[in-house]
Chains A and B, each alone.
Chain A
């Protein structure tokens, strides 16, 4: 009699109208949104890249700003997905009750969760493309491999939107998200090779770094920017994909539990 909250995801194409709904809202504020996506990474890249980079030697055959730009693509796609999956998804679920409205139609919770993941990943994609444009405009890289950053942004987006949605499924309110940002996102930014090579860390921290998904994103992005094929390409992709799939399942179970109340 009871519906099983642990059931596998019920996939259907009905998630598309929900994605389109979010896209329609975004379109109304597209310009400020794109500028927002650009401001933060560009300031980091220019400030640290030229400011700090001027005092540093080359790292692994590239200037510090090029080194940093690879980290910035990853960190900025991570942030876009995380903000969307936490604050915006929570607003739709709790504050605006958009989800409740949708659930009264033939569209189900499984459709909604899938659409939230793809929507947040779409924001990552946008963010990745925006930073890529800046890298290209600044002339930091001319390798055609650069274009692989686009699908990578989507994969990083899927991974971090699924992770973020777990937190949203558990959140009593917006304040709760501070924990996630201070305990997960900030360490991720500092331990995963965004600003400096992971080898600089002591051995114990390197172990932590190795299991964090952003490390694997950076380890893919950096060689691509430098015109090289990443060394551990399959492992890195697998880690990101496994994070995405496992977190997708966990957040779905948690949302089913929450929405059955």
Chain B
């Protein structure tokens, strides 16, 4: 059995609104699967459904071979969760947090104690073992939450926005740890709205919007299938006017956002030559990335 998570036609309705609207996915052992989407797309609700924390209004879920939510308790013995909002125990030290959490899995104190050095090492928190949670930095708290999710040596780890609110150093350390976990054969499912995070970490991605999966595949496939390979961004007051008069000829698709113009094209040279005649415009030529795909699929308007 290679499927760690499979979901068919999941539906969840809150107050008449279909927050999750017909989602199907298969996640196989050892992969890192990313759920990408703007705020309110239904990512967290999907995770909660897959974990059996809430019951779906339609559809079927299997997690590690167990039907969910029916046998969620048994399945969760082999699952670790890093929640979006930190919920470490503020009254406890780093080590006490791990000890108390292990007990919730029915682990013996001696077994948890035996795992502590390895968990602390993994989280770079060995020197903070006896420090209370409020004295930790944001990055340390996040690493402790990750270590806590590993206390039962799970096969699958759910991560809801694991690096939101962290500085770049702290994010890179978390990414490195997550790659180590997949290298050890753990299955990861994470939500994020950082495209670089998704591009670096995830073997496969699903882009969600309004409770549906609107595109699915590897980061490279998503880019190749959804968007032109080259992007030229042009900035400046005259950019909009210039785009209207000159750019359309050489460009497959143009998007204007404020004083920036995004030109999506298969071949960039003609447009770059054209830009040489307009020294008043600043521009940036780059390959298309996941963010371009994301914005094309989910639109540029703000989501509140």
Contacts and interface: CB of A to CB of B under 8 A. Distances in A.
Contacts of B152: 105
A20 B104 CA distance: 10
B106 interface: yes
B51 interface: yes
Contacts of A14: 104, 106
Given A101-B101, A106-B74, A106-B77, A1 B89 contact: no
A56 interface: no
A23 B77 CA distance: 24
Interface stretch (B53-61, B212-220, B247-255, B256-264): B53-61
Contacts of B117: none
B37 interface: no
Interface residues on B, range: 20 to 34
Contacts of A3: 55, 69
Contacts of A21: 89, 100, 103
A3, A21, A100, A104 — most chain B CB neighbours (10 Å): A104
B83 A104 contact: yes
Contact of B100 (A17, A103, A104): A17
7 contacts: A17-B100, A21-B100, A96-B89, A96-B90, A102-B104, A106-B73, A106-B104
Given A1-B58, A104-B51, A25 B91 contact: yes
A225 B96 CA distance: 42
Contacts of B85: 97, 100
A166 B283 CA distance: 62
B141 interface: no
B175 interface: no
B55 A105 contact: no
Given A24-B92, A105-B105, A106-B73, 13 more contacts: A1-B56, A14-B106, A18-B104, A21-B100, A24-B100, A25-B91, A28-B91, A96-B87, A101-B101, A104-B51, A104-B81, A105-B104, A107-B104
Interface string B35-77: 0000000000000000101111110000000000100011011
Interface residues of A, number: 25
Interface of B: 14, 51, 53-58, 69, 73-74, 76-77, 79, 81, 83, 85, 87-92, 96, 100-101, 103-106, 148, 152
A106 B101 CA distance: 11
B83 A100 contact: yes
Interface of A: 1-3, 14, 17-18, 20-21, 24-25, 28, 96-98, 100-108, 260-261
Enumerate the 10 nearest inter-chain pairs by beta-carbon distance, A residue then B residue, closest first.
A97-B87, A17-B103, A104-B81, A105-B104, A101-B87, A3-B55, A25-B91, A107-B104, A106-B73, A106-B76
Given A14-B106, A17-B103, A98-B87, A24 B76 contact: no
A260 B73 contact: no
Contacts of B81: 104
B28 to A, nearest CB: 22
B53 A103 contact: yes
A105 B54 contact: no
Contacts of B79: 104
A104 B76 contact: yes
Contacts of A261: 14
A147 B182 CA distance: 59
A98 B86 CA distance: 10
Contacts of A104: 51, 53, 76, 79, 81, 83
B104 A17 contact: yes
Contacts of A102: 104
A18 B51 CA distance: 20
Interface-centre pick from A3, A98, A105, A260 (highest chain B CB count, 10 A):
A105
B96 A24 contact: yes
B106 A106 contact: yes
A259 to B, nearest CB: 8
B55 A108 contact: no
A228 to B, nearest CB: 44
Contacts of B96: 24
Contact of B55 (A97, A103, A107, A260): A260
Contact of A108 (B73, B89, B90): B73
A1 B87 contact: no
A106 B75 CA distance: 8
Contact of A101 (B14, B54, B83, B106): B83
A260 B54 contact: yes
A25 B76 contact: no
Contacts of B88: 101
